[in-house]
């Protein structure tokens, strides 16, 4: 064996004192070992659990990356030999060289030192990575006060979970009224939804097998529920834990880590959800407020000026926006048109139809005049513009101011009340089909006269159907009594009296429908 | 974001920029290592890893990046990172990568910094 020169020893000493030169040192020692033992080639392997991993080679020969001591080695058939070392093994060729000498001892000790160094490095890595996990939990915790964007938050949570668990796949589900819905996925497809009480999913969250469709293609899955105070809010699932050798199952420690993470994520997600709800509520309130303002603009701002007549109108919706409508229009040829309508339904859809009614009335009156077929045209327009279950009851009248002749049509609305000068109460135009229901409906006009001293009252069923606590309705009779009893008062005061009477009758029972009244008195 | 890693390389005189897009996990890390070792074999001793397209690096990916750093130290080379997300930058700091590789906010500063210290 050729001994190492002084220079060789000095080089080796320098390498041994440099922390990052472990591999060059081993490489030099291996080269020296091969030279010393006339070996064509050799490889140093270090112990890694049940396997030996190749660390360093010398010579032109190929050596396997990993060597399994428990499995038969075909290499032996090709003239390779193996000697075990405390920290691993040497594989070398040919297999008949003597081994008990200083160079083998050097290699063995260097291998031990290298393995210790590697183990220390691995432990330091794992310890540092615990720091990364804590930071990840802290980061997600920060999101509680930070990101309220549900989409962005969901992505952050899923990416953190996948990263922390060294997973290859992941999916985040949020629980809503219709069950678990896939919010975010990573690394592949995921089942889009699960029913609220899906038993397979519940078993998986409790630690059992995953549903096959959850992360298709993933072989090893882990999932934990996201909960707020014991109430489920969602699920985080990860698939295929990575290592340097491929993928494998998750460990119990991973379930604990993911559980801790899910707790933090739950708070962040709940905050984001509540924020989203608050924004939506705010948006709806703004829209309702805007719609209410638009509706106020649609209704008459004040009584129209019609010589010989006093006119007043009043409306109170039962919510921010309503489905009642009243309006006055020029019916052409000196005639005065008045309308009072009630749209089916409540809230925004009803308010939108009121707007349609208002526009259609004015447009059709302006374009075609208010003559024969006016209500039919209005009916067709509404039938085409609204959905199948929406309709409008309408009382429409044209007044010839000079003569007092009143032509009126009723499309399914409450009959108007005509209080004569002599105290007689007449009902005008009961029956008829509401507008928007039957496209081919026909409407028949009727005529009466408004004489000096007569009072015409149009109203919506919010007045006559206002209920007392015992469910008794206000009714047309009571309305007629109010009109009769207060007939000599100015119209504004009459309306106050009607409102007061209805409110008193209801005895605190909440208003259940829009209330509208229009009064027309012929004075001259 | 593309989950499987895509790596592109811009070669320049004496150094190279490696762009990553996607997840730096086991597979992604191995691909970066393959490219890095090839560039080293070509004689490039300064490498810049631009992680602009990467939002996530797991522990396997980090361990592979550490190996690349060790290799660069072995050959007396330099490795820099740029365009890291805040999470990745924090992870690198905790894991000690910033002690052995330079981390820059963007590519321009990275190129200036690596050339200066070469």
Q: What is the CATH number of the domain that holds B41?
A: 3.30.750.24
Residue reference for tokens 């631009």: B50
Q: What average pLDDT is seen over chain A?
A: 86
Residue at B79 is within a domain: yes
Taking an 8 Å cut-off on Cβ atoms, the answer to whether B59 and A246 are in contact is: no
Q: Is the pLDDT of residue A37 over 90?
A: no
Cβ of B71 under 8 Å from any chain A Cβ?
no
Structure tokens, A477 = 């009779």
Taking an 8 Å cut-off on Cβ atoms, the answer to whether B58 and A166 are in contact is: yes
Q: What whole-number percentage of chain B has pLDDT above 90? A: 72
Q: Report which of A52, A55, A59 is spatially closest to residue A92, judged by C-alpha positions.
A: A59
Mean pLDDT score, A103-107: 84
pLDDT of residue B117: 66
Contact A287, A493 (CB under 8 A): no
Nearest to B60 among A128, A139, A242 (CB): A242
**Residue of A168, A245, A261 best to disrupt the B interface, most CBs of B under 10 A:** A168
> Which of the four pLDDT bands, split at 50, 70 and 90, describes residue B2?
very low
**Helix segments in A408-490, DSSP class H:** 461-464, 475-485
Which residues are within 8 A (CB) of A35 and not within 5 positions of it... i.e. 6 or more apart?
A2
Structure tokens, A263 = 């707790």
CA–CA distance, A146 with A153 (Å, rounded to integer) = 9
pLDDT of residue B14: 82
Residue at B80 is within a domain: yes
Taking an 8 Å cut-off on Cβ atoms, the answer to whether B57 and A20 are in contact is: no
State how beta strands B15-21 and B46-53 pair. parallel
Q: At what angle do helices A150-164 and B86-95 cross, to 10 degrees?
A: 20
CA-angle at A450, arms to A448 and A453, nearest 5°:
145
Cβ of A24 under 8 Å from any chain B Cβ?
yes
Residue at B102 is within a domain: yes
Residue at B11 is within a domain: yes
Taking an 8 Å cut-off on Cβ atoms, the answer to whether B3 and A131 are in contact is: no
CA–CA distance, A457 with A408 (Å, rounded to integer) = 13
Min Cα distance A358 → chain B (Å) is: 51
Taking an 8 Å cut-off on Cβ atoms, the answer to whether B87 and A139 are in contact is: yes
Lowest mean pLDDT segment, chosen from A111-115, A347-351, A414-418, B69-73 = A347-351
Residue at B116 is within a domain: no
- CA end-to-end span of chain A: 139
pLDDT tens for residues A190-239?
A: 999 999 889 999 999 988 999 989 999 999 999 999 998 888 999 999 99
Range among A78-82, A302-306, B103-107 rated most confident: B103-107
Prediction ipTM score? 0.88
Structure tokens, A424 = 């007689």
CA–CA distance, A325 with A341 (Å, rounded to integer) = 5
Structure tokens, A254 = 């991973």
Q: Is the pLDDT of residue A241 over 90?
A: yes
Mean pLDDT score, A36-41: 83
Which residues are within 8 A (CB) of A481 and not within 5 positions of it... i.e. 6 or more apart?
none
Torsion of CA B94, B96, B102, B104, to 10 degrees: -10
Cβ of B6 under 8 Å from any chain A Cβ?
no
Taking an 8 Å cut-off on Cβ atoms, the answer to whether B63 and A246 are in contact is: no
Q: What average pLDDT is seen over chain B?
A: 91
pLDDT of residue A325: 92
* Domain around B17: 6-110
Structure tokens, B13 = 């005189």
Q: Report which of A269, A261, A306 is spatially closest to residue A139, judged by C-alpha positions.
A: A261
Pairs across A and B, CB distance < 8 A: 60
> How many residues are there in chain B?
118
Q: Which domains does chain A have, with CATH numbers?
A: 6-121 (3.30.450.40), 146-275 (3.30.450.40), 300-522 (3.60.40.10)
Selected residues 231-250 of chain A with any CB under 8 Å from a CB in chain B: 242-244, 246
> Which of the four pLDDT bands, split at 50, 70 and 90, describes residue A73?
low
Cβ of B114 under 8 Å from any chain A Cβ?
no
Taking an 8 Å cut-off on Cβ atoms, the answer to whether B94 and A166 are in contact is: no
Cα-based distances in Å from A232 to A19, A157, A180, A229: 52, 17, 10, 8
- How many CB atoms within 10 Å of residue A507? 10
Which residues are within 8 A (CB) of B46 and not within 5 positions of it... i.e. 6 or more apart?
B14, B15, B16, B77, B78, B79, B80, B114, B115, B118
Mean pLDDT score, A495-513: 90
Residue reference for tokens 């085409």: A384
Cβ of B54 under 8 Å from any chain A Cβ?
no
Contact A138, B87 (CB under 8 A): no
Taking an 8 Å cut-off on Cβ atoms, the answer to whether A244 and B74 are in contact is: no
Which chain A residue lies closest to B26 (C-alpha atoms)? A244
Q: Work out how many domains chain B is built from and give that number.
A: 1
Cα-based distances in Å from A377 to A119, A328, A369, A430, A439: 89, 18, 11, 21, 9
The torsion angles phi and psi of A462, rounded to 5 degrees, stand at -65, -20
> How many residues are there in chain A?
524
Cα-based distances in Å from A125 to A46, A111, A156, B91: 19, 21, 24, 12
Strand order in the sheet with A425-428: A309-316, A515-522, A455-459, A416-419, A425-428
Taking an 8 Å cut-off on Cβ atoms, the answer to whether B58 and A162 are in contact is: yes
């Amino acid at each position: 064996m050729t001994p190492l020169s002084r220079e060789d020893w000095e080089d080796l000493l320098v390498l041994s004192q440099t922390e990052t030169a472990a591999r060059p040192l081993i490489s030099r020692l291996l080269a020296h070992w091969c030279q010393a033992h006339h070996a064509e080639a050799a490889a140093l392997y270090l112990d890694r659990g049940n396997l030996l991993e190749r660390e360093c080679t010398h010579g032109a020969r190929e050596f396997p990356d990993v060597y399994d001591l428990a499995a038969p080695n075909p290499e032996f058939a090709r003239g390779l030999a193996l000697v075990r070392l405390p920290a691993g093994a040497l594989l070398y060729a040919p297999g008949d060289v003597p081994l008990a000498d200083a160079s083998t001892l050097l290699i063995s000790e260097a291998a031990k030192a290298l393995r210790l160094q590697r183990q220390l490095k691995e432990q330091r890595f794992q310890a540092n990575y615990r720091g990364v996990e804590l930071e990840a939990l802290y980061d997600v915790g920060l999101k509680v006060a930070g990101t309220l964007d549900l989409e962005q938050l969901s992505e952050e949570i899923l990416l953190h979970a996948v990263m922390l668990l060294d997973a290859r796949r992941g999916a985040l589900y949020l629980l809503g009224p219709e069950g678990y819905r896939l919010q975010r996925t990573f690394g592949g497809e995921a089942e889009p939804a699960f029913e609220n009480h899906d038993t397979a999913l519940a078993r998986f969250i409790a630690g059992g097998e995953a549903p096959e469709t959850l992360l298709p293609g993933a072989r090893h899955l882990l999932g934990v529920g996201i909960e707020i105070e014991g109430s489920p809010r969602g699920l985080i699932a990860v698939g295929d834990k990575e290592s340097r050798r491929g993928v494998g199952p998750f460990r119990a420690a991973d379930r604990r880590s993911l559980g801790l993470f899910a707790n933090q994520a739950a708070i962040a997600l709940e905050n984001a959800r509540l924020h989203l709800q608050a924004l939506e509520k705010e948006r709806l309130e703004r829209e309702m407020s805007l719609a209410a303002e638009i509706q106020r603009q649609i209704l008459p701002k004040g009584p129209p000026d019609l010589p010989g007549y006093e006119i007043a109108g009043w409306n109170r919706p039962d919510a921010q926006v309503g489905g009642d409508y009243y309006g006055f229009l020029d019916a052409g040829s000196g005639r005065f048109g008045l309308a009072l309508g009630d749209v089916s339904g409540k809230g925004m859809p009803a308010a939108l139809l009121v707007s349609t009614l208002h526009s259609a009335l004015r447009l059709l009156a302006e374009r075609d005049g208010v003559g024969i077929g006016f209500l039919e045209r209005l009916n067709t327009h509404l039938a085409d513009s609204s959905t199948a279950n929406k309709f409008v009851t309408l009382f429409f009248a044209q007044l010839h101011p000079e003569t007092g002749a009143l032509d009126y049509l009723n499309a399914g609305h409450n009959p108007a009340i005509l209080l004569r000068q002599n105290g007689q109460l007449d009902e005008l135009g009961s029956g008829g089909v509401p507008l928007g229901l039957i496209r081919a409906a026909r409407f028949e006009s009727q005529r009466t006269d408004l004489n000096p001293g007569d009072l015409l009252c149009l109203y919506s069923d919010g007045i006559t159907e206002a209920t007392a606590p015992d469910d008794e309705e206000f009714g047309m009779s009571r309305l007629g009594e109010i009109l009769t009893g207060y007939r000599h008062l100015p119209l504004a005061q009459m309306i106050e009296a009607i409102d007061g009477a209805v409110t008193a009758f209801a005895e605190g029972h909440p208003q259940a429908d829009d209330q509208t009244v229009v009064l027309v008195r012929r004075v001259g | 974001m593309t989950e499987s890693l895509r790596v592109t390389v811009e070669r320049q005189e004496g150094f190279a920029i490696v762009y990553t897009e996607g997840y730096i996990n086991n597979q992604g890390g191995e691909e970066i290592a393959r490219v890095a070792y090839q560039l080293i074999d070509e004689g490039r001793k300064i490498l810049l890893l631009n992680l602009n397209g990467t939002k996530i690096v797991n522990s396997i990916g980090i361990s592979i990046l550490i190996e690349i750093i060790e290799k660069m130290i072995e050959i007396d080379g330099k490795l820099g990172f740029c365009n890291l997300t805040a999470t990745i930058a924090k992870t690198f700091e905790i894991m000690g990568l910033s002690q052995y590789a330079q981390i820059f906010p963007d590519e321009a500063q990275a190129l200036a910094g690596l050339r200066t210290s070469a």
